[in-house]
Amino acid sequence: MEALPALRAALLAWYRAERRRLPWREFPSVYATVVSEFMLQQTQVDTMLPYFERWMALWPSFEALAQASPEAVLHTWQGLGYYSRARNLLKLAQAVVQLGAIPGDPQQWRQFPGVGAYTAAAIMSIALNFPIACVDGNIVRIATRLTGDHRCYKDSGSAARALDGFCQELLNRENPGDHNQALMELGATVCRKSKPLCGLCPLRPFCKASQSGTPELFPHFEPKRFTSIQLERFFCHKNDALLLFRHGLEARRLAGFYELPLVEALQTPKGALLYLGKRSISTQRFEEAIYAPKTIEAVADTTAEPLFWVPIEHLGALTLTGPHRRWIQALLRS
């Protein structure tokens, strides 16, 4: 694009005037950037802000986090979902402390668990002023709209790889951190997936999709294929205690988390259907039917791990998955 200098200048001026005042921007550090980037994977800013503030109060540095227990980390993270992020963040802090220095190269950051090309570029550019472009879903959307890119991509990851060259060319190499954050901010607040606010966009004079009148049609992705999964669970409540199942520490997604036990785990007849819960994890859609056991006496003596009778008063301190916490609270109220 011949107008790159003007585009970069317009973007940077807009960002410095209009950006949201976020804690990791107002009080920047490598650690704050790392924590914010991990939390913002798959999570909106408004949702993660209180989690970020609690996290930083508990563990304000790599050294502090490295000393935390996995249980405490997961408990603080619960409600944000995608819990592998929390486990990877703990491992990263421990690795940085063991290394004894902050890595100064994107490839070094990519050796840490949970750090891909985008996260490495974000950390290096924002916290260390390294000239490298970030390419996430927001920036994919901006890049395809700027260029009027009609290609159909399999997913956001494949689009990011295809558009990386353009984004590196677009980069303001004198202010890479502010440039990358400006594009992230623009995608989150103005160049939105639906109903983009083109009238407020500093890049409108350079944008082919806006000039076409149909910017919301970009980018083009293949339709996602979702898998439906039906599960049956028991709600076993007796003597102010609840029977729960704990996922093993080797579990890929929910290591150490508690949920209601599956019917097949107890091998006892079902009673009344109490609740029908629904949730999604990635491209899997779960429908979870929750039953009372036909007789509570059939499970009252269950004590073997991974099944535990947990006093109701202790549920608040337990690391429960978000949907199961909501469903349990609803069932207890009823």
Positions marked catalytic: 37
Place of tokens 């978000």: 322
* Cβ count near 178 (within 10 Å): 20
Tokens 């970069």 correspond to what residue? 8
SS3 92: helix
The three-class DSSP label of residue 80 is coil
Instruction: Name the strand (E) or helix (H) holding 310.
Output: strand 307-311
CA distance 112 to 257: 24
Nearest to 169 by CA among 212, 132, 216: 132
| DSSP classification of residue 295 | -
Q: Look up residue 105 and give its two tokens.
A: 């190269």
Say which residues have a Cβ less than 8 Å from residue 143's Cβ, sequence separation at least 6: 135, 149, 163, 166, 167, 170
Whole-angstrom distance, CA of residue 324 vs CA of residue 57: 27
- Cα–Cα–Cα angle for 295, 297, 300, rounded to 5 degrees: 125
